[in-house]
Chains A and B, each alone.
Chain A
Amino acid sequence: MDEREPAERAEPEEECPLEREELALPDGRRLILYSRRDDPE
Chain B
Amino acid sequence: MIERRFNELRGEDVIYAEHRQHRTYRTDAVDCPLCPTRPGRPQTEIPVEAFEVAVFENRFPVFGPPDGAAEVIVYTPEHEGSFGGLPAERAETVIWVWRERYRELGARPDVHYVMAFENRGDVVGTTLHHPHGQIYGYPFVPPVPAAEREADRRLGACTVCKLTDRELTEGDRLVYVNGAFVSYVPYAARWPYEVHVAAREHRASLLELGRPEVRWLADAVQAVARGYDALFDRPFPYMMCVHQAPTDGEGGGHLHVEFYPPLRAPDRVKYLASGEQGAGTFSVDVMPEAAASELRAAVERLGR
Contact = CB atoms under 8 A, between A and B. Distances in A.
Q: Do A and B interact?
A: yes
Interface string B37-59: 00000010111100111111101
Interface of B: 43, 45-48, 51-57, 59, 87, 89-90, 92-93, 96-97, 99-100, 174, 176-180, 200-201, 207-213, 216, 296, 299-300, 304
Contact of B89 (A5, A26, A31, A40): A40
B200 A6 contact: yes
A18 B176 contact: no
Contacts, number: 101
Contacts of B208: 12
A8 B212 contact: yes
A30 B304 contact: no
Nearest to A36: B93
Interface string A3-35: 111111111111011101001011101111111
Most A CB contacts (10 A, CB to CB) among B99, B201, B211 go to B211
B100 A34 contact: yes
A18 B96 contact: yes
A24 B54 CA distance: 13
Contacts of B174: 1
B52 A36 contact: yes
A12 B296 CA distance: 32
Contact of A31 (B46, B99, B179, B296): B46
Contact of A14 (B46, B57, B211): B211
Contacts of A31: 45-47, 54-56
Contact of B51 (A6, A8, A33, A41): A33
Q: 10 shortest A-B CB distances, which residue pairs?
A: A10-B210, A14-B210, A29-B57, A7-B212, A7-B179, A31-B56, A35-B52, A40-B89, A41-B89, A34-B53
A41 B59 contact: no
A27 B99 CA distance: 27
